[in-house]
Amino acid sequence: MKTFPMFLRMEGREVVIVGGGEEAAQKARLILKTEARLTLVAETLDGELAALVEAGRATHETSAPSPVRLSGSALVFAASGCPGLDACTASVARAGGALVNAVDQPDLCDAITPSIVDRDPVVVAIGTEGTAPVLARQIKTQVEEMLEPTLGGFAALAGRLRTAVTASIPKARRRAFWRWAFEAPRRQHAQGAERDAARMLKQAIAAGGAPDDQSVGSIALVGAGPGAADLLTLRAVRRLQEADVIFYDRLVDPEVLELARRDAERIYVGKAPGIHSWPQDKIDQVIVTEARRGRRVVRLKGGDPSIFGRADEEMSGARAANVPVEIVPGVTAASAVASRLGRPLTERGRTNRLVLATAVGAGNQIVDDIAEALRPGTTMAIYMGLGAAAEIRDQMIAHGLPADLAVDVVSAATTAHEEIIHTTVDGLATDIALLGMKNPAIILLRNPSIALEAKEPVQKPRTRAA
């Protein structure tokens, strides 16, 4: 290593930023996260920096700094935007014995600003010694996905309880306590149940250690989104990385599974229309069985588990067995389709209602009242409708909708297999059959009674117009 990573105590120490523009403002935003005293040196300050001085969060000096002036500073940023002036500032700061960071001039830097993941008091710093800042930002993004946004709050809570742990839990049991604390209570905290997490910790401290019975695991019904792996939520990625076993269905893209722990067991429980090798009651049973073995179970579903995902049955089974269960939302297919078409699902003053409907009801019967829900001002997204395209067409026409009403059909949205058809109500079934479109797909309609402006379809790669 050419540089040594270290965290500096900043409470009460002075940081000087020489510069009054955007480069200086970027550094100021960073230092304001600490407890350092901030001094800005420039003849004039931009609006953001001037507001900091006015609010008392920084002081302002206009005279060029000398080595003596900078000798007591913990850190000096040369951030004027002028390479020559910044080089001069670096020399002056170094002559005064201060560490210096010159913006965009790594050869002049004693200190290099890392990419930071901030979960105060948990802080992760990523550096490449100035060689690859873009790579550092990419790594930062990956770490951001790993760490829940509320992690800092939980770490602070644990810190406040350390004295109580020392007083109440024998030394031989403390390591086990902290291992447990950063598992079950941390998961509770990450789900938004901060009070429950604190209560769990305090009860364990009062009892003299972590609960002895940790045999019951947990179940997370995780939304895998429409396909693209980078559309998963941060929480979904965390659950995949925590999972001991993952039950996934046919709508989950293989790239999504690559985000899971390498040693997690993966079990395919896919179901296709008319082919039920994994009946729902069997899935309900096996995920509960695995959780009761003490394993962290992820039931990975395409889209959002709570939208036509039979999450109610799986949650009921878990609750009946007293197994903790949660839903981790995902991007539903209708939202993905709208993004690929380049049009929103709702438009102010034109469509004020969004209907998500399934074409297949109980017992695999075709729903017979879909057309009735397509009222004026409505956008309708029909899930699982390809096999019922003819029935949907007949319903729409019988309900008085024009045969030439525009319809969009999108299959495998956001994946490499994405296909788009721009057709009409009358041509819906014929074009789907002609072009061999396959599930998963969404049929998207907008009510014609609202005077919508005619728009040319946004042409996308792999798009086929009927």
Of 414, 392, 409, 415, nearest in space to 444 by CA:
409
Dihedral of the alpha carbons of 192, 193, 195, 201, in degrees to the nearest 10 = -110
- How far apart CA 425 and CA 412 sit, in angstroms, is 21
DSSP letters for 1-62: --S---PPP-TT-EEEEE--SHHHHHHHHHHTTTT-EEEEE-SS--HHHHHHHHTTSSEEE-
As a residue count, the chain comes to: 466
- How far apart CA 439 and CA 387 sit, in angstroms, is 9
74: left (phi over 0), alpha (psi -120 to 50) or beta: alpha
Of 142, 296, 270, nearest in space to 216 by CA:
296
SS3 of residue 167 by DSSP: helix
115 phi/psi in degrees, rounded to 5: -80, 135
- How far apart CA 177 and CA 166 sit, in angstroms, is 11
CA 53 → CA 22, 23, 73, distances in Å? 15, 17, 19
Catalytic residues: 249, 271
Helical H runs in 45-132? 47-54, 67-70, 83-95
Nearest 5°: CA angle at 221, between 218 and 224? 135
Of 299, 281, 285, 292, nearest in space to 245 by CA:
299
User: Cβ neighbours of residue 272 under 8 Å, at least 6 residues apart?
Assistant: 250
Question: What's the half-sphere exposure (Cβ side, CA atoms, 13 Å) at 159?
Answer: 9
> Exposed, middle or buried by CB within 10 Å (0-12, 13-18, 19+), for 304?
buried
